[in-house]
Chain A
């Protein structure tokens, strides 16, 4: 236990050292080479931009974080409910899957302006776009997970005379959770992507808007500062799903059949 903790701390320290080295190299390169700080701002300038505009960054950062979190939750619902429905009926799958797949093949960014036409330039437009981009992996994780239930366990349910609900609750759902969580991890990053694209096209608020605005003024340091904050939001959301996965793995108590730990 102690050794495991030690090695975990050790590998975390290694990763942190690598990041620190990268940042230092970046700083050194920008200072040492004849690169204009307008093209590539050094880390010190990014830090300075973060400290110079805390109110702007906080306001837009909070908006992005709020819309991403809500978009993610809605995307999970929009994936789990139809995914569960699809898994109950082969007919439904045959009817709906071509449409779901066609939606996936369309380059989704190209549809972003349409969302503005439909929903205007406010938060509903950005969140709807985030849901649109992020729900698919959750849907696939749900259907694949529910379909992948151990056949022996299903036979056991039949022998015991379990109802459809009991079978879903006691056997199908627990077997589906690992794949569902894997889908949710993908959805976490997709939701943030969707919100940022939404901020690009609506140009009202959010860190994506800050990026566009600062870039148009040549404020590279502010662009990078906003991106650092976007990374932070993405990491927090991804980490939350990861924590849920670890909690589930502890409850599951056995090597999980699917879904990997990132």
Chain B
């Protein structure tokens, strides 16, 4: 089969995608006719209230859930199940407790039968970039929550995917660690320029990291508003302290309030 993914300019495309869970007694409508796409190298944040169905969107993009309506494309081809070139991060780090940090980062290579020697350099480079150097041989329980999530970032990136999906990856962390992790991710992403979908309910995170922010409505989730973030790259975390940034955050807060009231 020819690899058409290189020709497609879009990493992911949602076309009128809907999702209903067959729960009882009433089926749960989680996503309502969502259409958007993520260009190659684009960072899109999905912002919305808790429980609005934005995680379901991401699980569909990861191939873990199938849409009940519409079409979902990955690199121009219909997506069926988890994709080899996709890295995923969840709310929890989900590191395997009996493996060291390095072995956890290398775990995807084990599953894909890729020789350790081939990915070891990449793993060590990532571990250094996120500031975990010196902790390669520590076990997860010896690390703080933030450090575990750093290891999870490395694991998501170790096989050099072209799309990174993140489902509220920092929401289990305290506020200070959370901002710090946002900065780590910003730095990492600006060096790699992968496509990314980042689900969050933090407006600061969404704006600082993204080229484009999609604001979701309450459940069932639809795209209530789309906003292009005008700040040039490379961005620094200091951007978040500027008046322009604050104005955009305030604007988005208003949009979310309106979409909640609607």
Contacts and interface: CB of A to CB of B under 8 A. Distances in A.
A252 B97 contact: yes
Contact of A161 (B97, B111, B139): B111
B64 A254 contact: no
B98 A251 contact: yes
Given A166-B111, A170-B110, A159 B98 contact: no
Binding site secondary structure of chain B: loop
B141 A254 contact: yes
A30 interface: no
A171 interface: yes
Contacts of A110: none
B139 A254 contact: yes
Contacts, number: 53
Contacts of A150: 94
Interface string A122-149: 0000000000000000000000000000
Interface in B234-256: none
B209 interface: no
Contacts of B92: 152
Interface string B49-77: 00000000000001110000000000000
A157 B82 CA distance: 10
B170 interface: no
A156 interface: yes
Given A166-B111, A255-B141, A159 B96 contact: no
Nearest to B156: A159
Interface string B100-118: 0000000110111000000
- The bracket for how many chain A residues form the interface is 20 to 34
Contacts of B84: 161
A102 B145 CA distance: 46
A51 B63 CA distance: 72
B198 interface: no
A152 B98 contact: no
A158 B86 CA distance: 12
Nearest to A177: B98
Nearest to A252: B98
Contact of A160 (B112, B139, B141): B112
B14 interface: no
B96 A174 contact: yes
A160 B111 contact: yes
B46 interface: no
B88 interface: yes
Contacts of B43: none
Given A160-B82, A161-B112, A155 B94 contact: yes
A166 B113 CA distance: 11
A155 B112 contact: no
B140 interface: yes
Nearest to A160: B111
Given A153-B96, A253-B98, A170 B64 contact: no
A159 B96 CA distance: 15
Interface of A: 150, 152-153, 155-162, 166, 170-171, 174, 251-255
Given A161-B111, A251-B98, A254-B140, 18 more contacts: A150-B94, A153-B94, A155-B90, A156-B107, A159-B63, A159-B64, A159-B82, A159-B88, A160-B112, A161-B112, A166-B111, A170-B110, A170-B111, A253-B139, A254-B98, A254-B139, A254-B141, A255-B141
Interface of B: 62-64, 81-82, 84, 86, 88, 90, 92, 94, 96-98, 107-108, 110-112, 139-141
